Amino acid sequence: MILRNENSPSLHWKLAILGAAVVFVFLAASNIDLPGLYYDELIQVTPALSFVKGPLQVQVFGEAGTEIGFHGHRLSWMTMGYLGALKTIVFVPIAAALHLGPKSVRYFTIMIGALALIAISAFARRFLGPMAAALGAFLLATDPSYLIYCRTDYGPTVLMMLLKGVALWQLLVWWQTRNSWSLYRAAFAMGLGLYDKTNFLWIVIAIAGAVLMVAPRSFTRLTRQEVMRAGCLFIVGCLPLIVYNRHWPPPTWTALKTQNMMARRGETGAPRSFPELEHRLMQRARVLNNLFTASTVNYVRGYLAPRLAPMSVVFFVASVITVICYMLRRLRRRWRGEMLLLLATFLIILFAAVTPGAYEGHHLILSYPFPHLLVAAIAIRCMRLCSQMRKPLGTIAAGAVFLAGVAGPVTGSTLRYRQVMVQLQKTGGTGSWSDGIYALDSWLEQYDSAQPVVAVDWGIGQPLAVLSQGRLHCVELWSVHDAAGYQGLFNGPGSRYVLHPPDGTHFPKARDIFLEAVRVRGLQIHLVKTITDRMGHPVLLVYVLSRNIGSEPLSERQGTAR
C-alpha cells in the first residue's frame, strides 16, 4: 500500500489544517439557535439530563433491561436497539455544568465535528501528504452536509466521524511505526463506533475490504499477539452492544427489522435480483450527490436546490482518473492509495444498498471523508504534473487545476451552505425543526407550568424537556394504539395537549385516536394557543379540554405567538 512517508509537515501546513477547523466552527456556529431543537438530536441528551437531575417528568429513551445505577442516578447503556448511549455518557458533564439549550447542545457537537476534522487530517497527512491533507480538510470543512449534520448531529453523525478519523489515523501510525499500541487504539475506537451505532460496521468492513482488494499482503504484517489484543479491545469497545444482544433473537436485529418494515420505499429485505440491486445503488449514489448539494436538508423550504454541485463533478472526474490509472499495470502500485479511498466509498454505498431502509442522507454520510480526500489527492497529483510543464504554461495549468478541483468546490459548498442558512433565517425551520418550539416552551412555562403537557405527535416532548430543564411534565402519547391511553389524563383537569397542524402531523393515527377519545368521553376541545413559524404558518397547536359545552378554560390566553 502506498503511504506518504514524509517528515513532519512544516508549520504552515499545520496552520492550514487548523485554519480549516476554524472555518468549520465559524460556519457551523452561525445562527446556532436555528433550526429549533429537534427531537432526534435530543434523544441522547434527555437521558444525560435525567442522570444528572434525577428522573424527569418525560419519557427518557433507553432500552428496557439496560439501566445501570451510580450513586442513585440511573442511566441506560442502550438508547435504542441499534443505538448505544455513548453520546449520553459523553454529554453528562455538559448536562451537569451548563444550562441546556441550543447553544450548549450544538456547540458540543460542533466541537466534536472539529476534532473529527483534525483527526481525519492527521490520517490524510500520513496517507496522502500535508498538501492533500490541508486541501481535503478545507473540502470537508466547507461541505454543506458535513456542516449541517454536525451542527444538529443528525443521524447521529459527529461521534461516528470522530471515531472513524481516530481509527484511520491510528491504523496508519501503526503501519508506519509498528507501534502496536496505535493498532490497539484503532481497534478500540472501531469498537466504540460500533457501540455508538451499529451501521459503523459498514466502515469497519469497508476499510478492511478496500485494503484486502488493493494491498492484500498488508494483513501479513499483523502478528498473532496483535490480532488477539486488538480483537479484545474491539470487543471491549462494543461490549455493551454485545451484552445487550446476548439473547436470541438478538434485540438489535429485531429492532433493525422493525425499522426496516417502516421503510417508506418498501425495502423490506435485501435485493432479490441484480436489477433491484442496481436500482438501489443508483438511488444511494443520488443521495450521495444530494449530500454534496445539501438537498437532503429537510428543515428549509421555498428554495430550489441545484441538481449538481462542483464537488459532485470533481469527485466523478477524480473517480474516473483513479480507475483508469489503477488499471494501467505500470501505475497500479503508485495509485493504490487513491484506489483504496474510492473502494471504501463504493463499499459503503454498496452496504447501504443491500441494507433495507438505508436510503437517507444520514446513512450515506458514513462514506465521508473518503470522497473529499480522493478529490484532494487527485488535485495534488494533477498540479504536480502540471508544474513539470514549461513555465509559465505549467504554472497556469496548475492554477487552473487548483481553481477547478479545490477552490471551485470549496466556494460552491460555502455558497450553498449560506443559501441554506439565509432561507433558514426566513422560515426559522420547517415542521418539527421550527424555532417555534422556543415560543411554545416559553408559553407553557409561563402559564400553568405545573400542569401536564401531552404531546399527541412526534417531535414535541423531548425538545420541551430539554428547554425546560426537565421542569415541564411532558407525556408523549403519539405511539398509543387505542383511546384507553388517554383515560387517565382525561380524569385530571388542566392538561395541555400539543399537536401539529393536520398537514404537518407525523402520526395521523395518533391524532385520530386522540380526537376519537375526546368524542367518546363527551368532552369539548378548545384551541388556546397557536404557534406560528416566521412565515406565519401554524406549526404547533395547544388545546385544553372541558366537560361543558359553554366552558372555555384558558380562553383569555388564546392567541398566536411566534
φ/ψ region of 168 (left if φ > 0, alpha if ψ in -120 to 50, else beta) reads alpha
**Using CA atoms, how far apart are residues 376 and 338, in angstroms rounded to an integer?**
10
536 found inside a domain = yes
Mean pLDDT of the region 180-191: 98
pLDDT tens-digit readout, 455-483: 999 999 999 999 999 899 888 888 776 66
Q: Does 343 lie in the same domain as 215? A: yes
Asked if 192 contacts 237 with a C-beta cutoff of 8 angstroms, the reply is yes
Q: Does 235 lie in the same domain as 347? A: yes
340 found inside a domain = yes
DSSP state of 407: I
DSSP state of 217: G
454 by DSSP, 3-state: which?
Answer: strand
70 found inside a domain = no
Q: Does 385 lie in the same domain as 493? A: no
Residue 555's pLDDT is what?
A: 37
Nearest alpha-carbon partner for 141 in 130, 151, 127: 151
Q: Does 298 lie in the same domain as 195? A: yes
User: What's the number of domains the chain is made of?
Assistant: 2
Phi and psi angles of residue 215, each rounded to the nearest 5 degrees, phi first: -140, 70
Phi and psi angles of residue 545, each rounded to the nearest 5 degrees, phi first: -115, 155
One-letter amino acid at 229 equals R
165 found inside a domain = yes
Task: Please tell me which residue, 201 or 524, carries the higher pLDDT value.
Answer: 201
End residue of a domain, out of 380, 410, 427:
427
Residue 74's pLDDT is what?
A: 85
Nearest alpha-carbon partner for 203 in 159, 143, 259, 160: 160
Residue 299 has pLDDT above 90, yes or no: no
Residue 214's pLDDT is what?
A: 95
Q: Does 475 lie in the same domain as 408? A: no
- Global pTM reads 0.92
Q: Does 452 lie in the same domain as 405? A: no
87 found inside a domain = no
Which residues, in sequence order, are CB contacts of 108 under 8 Å at separation 6+? 91, 94
pLDDT tens-digit readout, 4-57: 544 455 788 889 999 999 999 999 999 999 999 998 899 999 999 999 988 777
Q: Does 298 lie in the same domain as 151? A: yes
Q: Does 492 lie in the same domain as 406? A: no
pLDDT tens-digit readout, 230-275: 999 999 999 999 999 998 888 888 887 776 665 555 666 778 889 9
- Whether the link from the prior residue into 369 is cis, omega within 30° of 0, is yes
H or E segment and range at residue 75:
strand 73-76
Pairing of strands 538-546, 524-532: antiparallel
Asked if 201 contacts 194 with a C-beta cutoff of 8 angstroms, the reply is yes
Q: Does 295 lie in the same domain as 198? A: yes
Residue 511 has pLDDT above 50, yes or no: yes
Asked if 534 contacts 426 with a C-beta cutoff of 8 angstroms, the reply is yes
Give the confidence band of 553 by pLDDT, cuts at 50, 70, 90.
very low
pLDDT exceeding 90 applies to what percent of the chain?
A: 68
Asked if 184 contacts 233 with a C-beta cutoff of 8 angstroms, the reply is yes
Domain span including residue 482? 434-561
Residue 281 has pLDDT above 90, yes or no: yes
67 found inside a domain = no
Asked if 429 contacts 533 with a C-beta cutoff of 8 angstroms, the reply is yes
**Using CA atoms, how far apart are residues 66 and 88, in angstroms rounded to an integer?**
14
Which residues, in sequence order, are CB contacts of 93 under 8 Å at separation 6+? none
Q: Does 317 lie in the same domain as 286? A: yes
Q: Does 145 lie in the same domain as 28? A: yes
Mean pLDDT of the region 266-287: 87
**Using CA atoms, how far apart are residues 156 and 44, in angstroms rounded to an integer?**
10
End residue of a domain, out of 427, 442, 466:
427
234 found inside a domain = yes
Which residues, in sequence order, are CB contacts of 86 under 8 Å at separation 6+? 159, 192, 195, 196
One-letter amino acid at 259 equals Q
Give the Cα-Cα-Cα angle 352, 357, 360 (nearest 5 degrees): 70
Average pLDDT over the chain reads 89
Residue 300's pLDDT is what?
A: 72
DSSP state of 10: P
Burial environment of residue 401 by CB neighbours within 10 A (0 to 12, 13 to 18, 19 or more): buried
Asked if 87 contacts 46 with a C-beta cutoff of 8 angstroms, the reply is no
Q: Distance between alpha carbon 431 and the CA centroid of its chain, in Å?
A: 19
Q: In the numeric block, which cell numbers belong to residue 428?
A: 426559522
Task: Please tell me which residue, 209 or 5, carries the higher pLDDT value.
Answer: 209
Q: Does 393 lie in the same domain as 476? A: no
Residue 2 has pLDDT above 50, yes or no: no
Q: Distance between alpha carbon 467 and the CA centroid of its chain, in Å?
A: 21
Give the confidence band of 88 by pLDDT, cuts at 50, 70, 90.
very high
End residue of a domain, out of 371, 392, 427:
427
Which residue has 484503532 as its cell numbers? 186
pLDDT tens-digit readout, 408-429: 999 999 999 999 999 999 999 9
Pairing of strands 83-84, 524-532: unpaired
524 found inside a domain = yes
Nearest alpha-carbon partner for 101 in 466, 525, 478, 504: 466
